[in-house]
């Protein structure tokens, strides 16, 4: 199973985050095993969850790529801000 990390911005799930898993058109629970992740199931942070739910009629790869293209500048900026913090600041969520 994949960890709960937003597939658009890379933000991990926290107790303050209202993110959630979204099932897309290509979701297939039948093909998973205990060690794999279901196809078509992706995690989104609270910033992107509403937009992701509007795209459930698409395949997960297409929906994620569309969202990344629409928010490319936001994602790059967020990753840069997160990566500039010291490890203890990221751990303590400063």
Domain residue extents for the chain: 20-92
Average pLDDT score over the chain: 80
Give the pLDDT score at 38. Answer: 87
Q: How many CB atoms lie within 10 A of CB 24?
A: 20
Give the pLDDT score at 75. Answer: 47
Confidence of residue 78 (pLDDT cuts 50, 70, 90): low
Secondary structure class of 25 (helix, strand, coil) = strand
Contact 4, 42 (CB under 8 A): no
Most confident of 6-10, 29-33, 49-53, 71-75: 49-53
Query: Of the candidates 23, 26, 25, 68, which has an alpha carbon nearest to the alpha carbon of residue 47?
Result: 68
For the stretch 37-73, pLDDT in tens is: 888 999 999 999 999 999 999 999 999 999 998 887 5
Confidence of residue 84 (pLDDT cuts 50, 70, 90): low
Q: What is the pTM of this model?
A: 0.72
Give the pLDDT score at 80. Answer: 52
């Amino acid at each position: 199973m994949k960890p709960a990390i937003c597939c658009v911005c890379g933000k991990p799930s926290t107790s303050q985050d209202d993110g959630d898993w979204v099932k897309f058109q290509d979701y297939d629970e039948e093909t998973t095993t205990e060690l794999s992740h279901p196809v078509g199931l992706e995690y989104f942070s609270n910033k992107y969850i509403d937009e992701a739910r509007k795209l459930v009629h698409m395949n997960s790869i297409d929906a994620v790529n569309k969202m990344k293209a629409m928010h490319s500048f936001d994602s790059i900026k967020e990753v840069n801000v997160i990566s500039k913090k010291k490890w203890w600041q990221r751990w303590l969520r400063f």
